[in-house]
Amino acid sequence: MNNIRISAVSYTNTKPFIYGLQHHPIKNQIDLSLDTPSDCAQKLIDNNVDIGLIPVAAILQLPYWQIVSDYCIGAVGAVNSVFIFSNCPIKEVHNIQLDPESRSSNNLANVLLKNFWKINPKQIINAEDYAKSTNIKTAFVQIGDRTFGKKNRFPYVYDLAEIWQQLTGLPFVFAAWIANKPINPEFMKGFNEALKIGLDAREQLVKDLPVYPDFSLHDYFFHKLDFNLTDQKKEALDLFLAYIKDL
């Protein structure tokens, strides 16, 4: 029997999941690769993997998809790693530079710009140095480890999961474990067990990870990220996909 090919995001927020997959017998049934969120999604779309921890916006590009886990990368309120950074108030922004590593967060930014702030700035894709700009009216989306400790460097900072909750009253799902084909239920059971092992090991994981100035990984793992794929998060996922279709 061939191993299940799995792509997971290489960011710190996935460390508990990776730990669990590496410390459970299921490691012998999988081939695991670590990728950026956008590459993770593309691998699943191209059928180069069977399961991916993909940005949920990419679900719309899959002819078949199935949620294969009770866990996700989510947040209830501020997540502290998915932002729009700006040198001017968001209502005054003329240009928004998108994150080349993101799909869901770029789409989330667009949903919020249209439905919450009700503005339509020019979108800039693949800016040469997208996270810098000499134009005070240009803001940018940035996600993941590159944002750690960055909140104090810009006069205007918008946490997109927090703004989403203000718009909808719901939590948010950034990435979910999605398969592009039917997966054996017995495998899914072991897969969930492995992910839970990693989540239960977060205290030790935090001790072994780098220390970031002005950023608490303990707070991030235990109070900002919310890993359970609850019914409310599934409702939020469906609503987000509907918003994307309406962009």
Domain boundaries, the chain: 4-73+173-230, 82-168
Describe the strand order of the beta sheet including 82-86 as a list of residue ranges: 122-124, 95-97, 138-143, 82-86, 156-159
Those residues with Cβ within 8 angstroms of residue 175's Cβ, 6 or more apart along the chain or in another chain: 9, 37, 40, 53, 54, 55, 56, 72, 73, 104
Question: Mean per-residue pLDDT for 175-192?
Answer: 97
pLDDT at 226 over 80: yes
CATH number of 4-73+173-230: 3.40.190.10
Given this model, what pLDDT does residue 41 score?
Answer: 94
- Cα distance between residue 133 and residue 139, in whole Å: 8
pLDDT at 1 over 70: no
Q: What is the pLDDT of residues 103-115, one digit of tens each?
A: 889 999 999 999 9
pLDDT at 52 over 90: yes
For the chain, what is the mean pLDDT?
A: 96
Q: Mutual orientation of helices 15-22 and 185-200 as an angle, nearest 10°? A: 120
Identical fold between 4-73+173-230 and 82-168: yes
- Cα distance between residue 208 and residue 218, in whole Å: 11
Given this model, what pLDDT does residue 173 score?
Answer: 97
Question: Mean per-residue pLDDT for 27-47?
Answer: 96
**Fold of the domain spanning 82-168:** D-Maltodextrin-Binding Protein; domain 2 (3.40.190)
Token output for 6: 């799995």
Given this model, what pLDDT does residue 102 score?
Answer: 84
Burial class (CB in 10 A: 0-12, 13-18, 19+), 212: middle
Q: What is the pLDDT of residues 205-218, one digit of tens each?
A: 999 999 998 999 99
